[in-house]
């Protein structure tokens, strides 16, 4: 019985430590990240006739630079410009390092 109590106590201590050490994906972090992406795409010069929806897959290197892995859109011109404006741009928002790839929906309005 003592061994079971000791094991449960040790498990509880480890769980509390893991939860405390894990970075939170707070709404403030998401809002800051979204704002940075919008700022990077704000000055993109493109003339489109209708709204463009693109699905991005990005990752980040050790210097917190965006690495665009995939741009999924039917408008290839817009896809190339999105990649050009985001690839290798440094962001200041600190994201969860355990997540290797982020999927981002982007909408460009005409």
Q: Which of 5-19, 23-37, 38-52, 90-104 has the lowest mean pLDDT?
A: 5-19
Instruction: For residue 82, give its domain range.
Output: 25-108
Residue 11 lies in a domain: no
Residue 1 lies in a domain: no
**Single pTM value for the model:** 0.68
Domain count, the chain: 1
Residue 93 lies in a domain: yes
Residue 17 lies in a domain: no
Residue 101 lies in a domain: yes
- 29-70 pLDDT, tens digit per residue, is 778 888 888 888 887 777 777 888 888 899 988 888 999 999
Residue 13 lies in a domain: no
Q: What is the pLDDT of residue 38?
A: 84
State the CATH number of the domain containing residue 33: 3.30.1150
Contacts 24+ apart (CB under 8 A), 39-46: 40/85, 40/86, 40/89, 41/82, 41/85, 41/86, 41/106, 41/108, 43/85, 44/81, 44/82, 44/85, 44/108, 46/77, 46/78, 46/81, 46/108
Q: What is the pLDDT of residue 90?
A: 92
């Amino acid at each position: 019985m003592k061994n079971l109590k000791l094991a449960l106590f040790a498990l509880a201590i480890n769980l509390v430590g893991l939860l405390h050490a894990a970075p939170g994906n707070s709404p403030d972090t998401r809002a800051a990240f979204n704002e940075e992406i919008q700022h990077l795409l704000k000055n993109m010069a493109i003339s489109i006739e209708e709204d463009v929806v693109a699905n991005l897959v990005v990752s980040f290197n050790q210097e917190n630079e965006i690495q665009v892995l995939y741009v999924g859109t039917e408008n290839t011109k817009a896809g190339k410009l999105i990649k050009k404006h985001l690839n290798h741009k440094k962001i200041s928002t600190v994201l969860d390092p355990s997540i290797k790839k982020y999927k981002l929906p982007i909408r460009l309005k005409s």
